[in-house]
Amino acid sequence: MLRPGELVINDSTPTDLYMEPLVGGERKSHGCVPRNWRTHPAGCYASAPLTAIDMPLIPRSEWSARLRDKVATKSLLSDIRLTGNNEQIIPSLDQDGKGFCWAHSSTSAIMMLRAVANLPYVGLSAYAIACIIKSYRDEGGWGAESMDFVTQRGVPSEAFWPMQSMSRSNDKPETWANAALHKVTEGWVDMASAQYDRNLTFDQVGTLLLCNIPVVVDFSWWSHSVCAIDLVEISSGSFGLRILNSWGDGWSDHGMGVLEGNRAIPDGSVAPRVTVAAAA
């Protein structure tokens, strides 16, 4: 079920709505570069021991009924996002013109996992991840890169590394002590490229979302990495992904939109499962 005002991106959607769109007068950017699967195959990241989802797939025949129940009981990750900040919405992140979508998608996923666990809302700074990995250069990357970093070092709160700051002065021991409070602790799932079996890829992502596990999804056609939060039945038997973008709450419906059809098949996807429980 679509939400009011929600942008659905499919093959017929005007590109100016999702390719470097103007949102609030600002030109939004992307930053996802295709993962080099030869040099970085699934399983190459030591912090991701799981190269395929280690849970059974929920068959598509069950998806409609499960989704109806989740909508009726407000059990979707998007529902949890709407109240996960002390009964207020968890704001979407804003990469602010830099090519750091690939760090924001992972950071959004960590924030969603915290909301599911009923840990307090803490604004996390994706810039810290991107600045350290790319040595403060505005460069593209892919979701698995940032997730691997979050597993090893975590991501600091905006109190220690302000959002959208590229100042080297943020890089202090106390920043990374705080970042460790927001680590991914249980092996994240590094799913293989969709090149050979696109249905399997989508079924894996769908299963994770039905279990309220957010999935970082990279799209080569979009040069963009976002956080998938819901499986959506757009029409009978036709499913898409509700994503949480990193273009601020001004884009689409509070920063959330839906990808449909070919646009919803990720070229790379990773899923964090457990984070540290920390209040700060």
User: What residues contact residue 164 under an 8 Å CB cut-off, 6+ apart?
Assistant: 94, 95, 96, 98, 127
Q: Which helix (H) or strand (E) holds 275?
A: strand 274-275
User: For another protein, which is the closer residue by CB, 39 or 118?
Assistant: 118
Q: Is 56 in the site for another protein (CB under 8 A)?
A: yes
- Fill in the per-residue mask, 93 to 122: x = in contact with another protein (CB under 8 A), - = not in contact: -----------------------xxxxxx-
Distance of CA 130 to CAs 32, 113, 188, 244, Å? Answer: 12, 20, 19, 19
User: For another protein, which is the closer residue by CB, 204 or 246?
Assistant: 204
Q: Is 57 in the site for another protein (CB under 8 A)?
A: yes
Structure-derived torsion over alpha carbons of residues 218, 112, 70, 2, reported in degrees to the nearest 10 = -50
Site for another protein in 172-231 (CB under 8 A): 181, 183, 185-186, 207, 210-213
Q: Is 52 in the site for another protein (CB under 8 A)?
A: no
User: For another protein, which is the closer residue by CB, 40 or 66?
Assistant: 66
Tell me the C-alpha distance between 57 and 205, whole Å.
9
Tell me the C-alpha distance between 189 and 83, whole Å.
27
DSSP label of 159: T
Binds another protein (CB under 8 A): choice among 10, 47, 51, 75: 75
Q: Is 55 in the site for another protein (CB under 8 A)?
A: yes
Binds another protein (CB under 8 A): choice among 79, 96, 158, 171: 79
Q: How, if at all, do strands 215-219 and 189-191 pair?
A: unpaired
Q: Is 276 in the site for another protein (CB under 8 A)?
A: yes
Site for another protein in 117-136 (CB under 8 A): 117-121
Binds another protein (CB under 8 A): choice among 70, 81, 98, 254: 70
8 A C-beta contact, residue 77 and residue 111: no
Q: Is 35 in the site for another protein (CB under 8 A)?
A: no
- Terminal CA-CA length for the chain: 35
Q: Is 80 in the site for another protein (CB under 8 A)?
A: yes
8 A C-beta contact, residue 234 and residue 243: no
Residues that bind another protein (CB under 8 A): 54-58, 65-66, 69-70, 73-76, 79-80, 83, 86-87, 116-121, 181, 183, 185-186, 207, 210-213, 273-280
